[in-house]
């Protein structure tokens, strides 16, 4: 049985003056977002998977500010973070590779996702292209009363995907991590990125002087949550390596690995995708979504989820 731990609540949480995390409880496609309010404008970090979620987030934003939204930052291309971009009247900013991946999604009807995720609410889900891209780093200077706020967008990929950026507020010591951080009890997911890159990205985030890490999924976090996510990924890498060396197929390896403490985490079926990514890395392949059996892996992962639920 999957214990489905969900001890955190959906809602807006103030993490610094004018800086808010919008946290949602749940698993697949239920992500967190952010709001950064300045003197003349407000900036949003990530949109949400469907219109219902986005509207709830927007109504929470309206309780805090009526300032125009200037920018919407996409931390990466995954559809839970981008599908309702169009509901936020702002210029969208993301990494170059995020836009490239979004272009690939343009011809895909969101309802196709239902084949893998039955029951997923895709009402109002729509792919729209971002307006502004950057490569390594971009800083937004947001006007404040008598000062300015530095908002640094920094590329940290490939990690969770090939397009991950984090949003760092050095003065407030806050980071919006996007899916560079799945905090306990959410299981990290690396199928579309790189396990070793993910570990390095988490090390990089842990090295910064930060009070609050806003994860892409899961409750608000301190550095400890980064260590736990890193521990999981290092564990997957090590276990997968043994099986790979023994010539065991990736999907068969899933059943021979004892997840130990990680058994209590949610979405533990992600081990299927994570091992596939680890194997791909051992074969020296590049990170990304181009695995030849990508769809098959996703289907097997969700089959394994159902198996765990029985």
Which of residues 179 and 281 has its CB atom nearest to Zn ion in the complex? 179
CA distance 3 to 122: 26
Q: Which stretch binds Zn ion (CB under 5 A): 34-42, 173-181, 207-215, 296-304?
A: 173-181
Shortest distance in whole angstroms from residue 182 CB to Zn ion: 8
Among 20, 27, 30, 31, binds Zn ion (CB under 5 A): 31
Sheet holding 69-73, edge to edge: 11-16, 19-23, 33-37, 42-45, 69-73, 91-95, 132-134
Q: Of 25, 42, 23, which Cα lies nearest the Cα of 33?
A: 23
CB 166, CB 202: distance < 8 Å: no
164 binds Zn ion (CB under 5 A): no
Tell me how far apart the 2 most distant CA atoms of the chain are, in Å: 63
CB of 243 to Zn ion, least distance (A): 27
The distance of closest approach from Cβ of residue 258 to Zn ion in the complex, given in angstroms and rounded to an integer, is: 27
Among 215, 216, 218, 273, binds Zn ion (CB under 5 A): 216
Check: CB of residue 167 under 8 Å from CB of residue 173: no
Q: Minimum CB separation from Zn ion for residue 39, in Å?
A: 31
Instruction: Point out which span in 30-38, 53-61, 87-95, 267-275 binds Zn ion (CB under 5 A).
Output: 30-38
From the CB of 283, what's the least distance to Zn ion, in Å? 26
Q: How far apart are CA 80 and CA 301, in angstroms?
A: 18
Residue 80 engages Zn ion in binding (rule: CB under 5 A)? yes
Give me the residues that bind Zn ion (CB under 5 A), please.
Answer: 31, 78, 80, 179, 216
């Amino acid at each position: 049985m999957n214990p489905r731990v969900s001890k955190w609540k959906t809602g807006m949480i103030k993490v610094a003056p004018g800086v808010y995390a919008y946290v949602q409880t749940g698993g697949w496609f239920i992500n967190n977002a952010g709001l950064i309010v300045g003197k003349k404008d407000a900036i949003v970090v990530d949109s949400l998977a469907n219109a219902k979620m986005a509207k709830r987030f927007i109504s929470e934003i309206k309780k805090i500010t009526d300032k125009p939204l200037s920018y919407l930052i996409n931390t990466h291309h995954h559809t839970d973070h981008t599908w309702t971009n169009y509901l936020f009247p702002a210029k969208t900013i993301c990494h170059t590779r995020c836009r490239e991946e979004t272009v690939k999604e343009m011809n895909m009807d969101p309802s196709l996702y239902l084949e893998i995720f039955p029951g997923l609410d895709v009402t109002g889900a729509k792919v729209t292209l971002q307006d502004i891209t950057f490569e390594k780093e971009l800083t937004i200077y947001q006007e404040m009363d008598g000062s300015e706020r530095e908002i640094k967008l920094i590329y940290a990929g490939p990690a969770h995907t090939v397009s991950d950026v984090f949003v760092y507020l050095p003065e407030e010591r806050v980071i919006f991590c996007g899916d560079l951080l799945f905090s306990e009890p959410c299981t990290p997911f690396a199928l579309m990125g790189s396990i070793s890159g993910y570990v390095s990205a988490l090390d990089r985030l842990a090295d910064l002087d930060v009070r609050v890490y806003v994860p892409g999924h899961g409750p608000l976090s301190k550095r400890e949550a980064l260590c736990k996510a890193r521990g999981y990924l290092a564990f997957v890498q090590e276990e997968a390596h043994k099986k790979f060396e023994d010539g065991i197929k990736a999907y068969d390896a899933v059943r021979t690995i004892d997840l130990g403490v990680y058994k209590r985490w949610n979405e533990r079926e992600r081990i299927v995708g994570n091992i596939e990514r680890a194997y791909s890395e051992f074969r020296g392949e590049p990170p990304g979504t181009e695995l030849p059996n990508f769809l098959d892996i996703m289907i097997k992962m969700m089959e394994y989820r159902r198996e765990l639920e029985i």
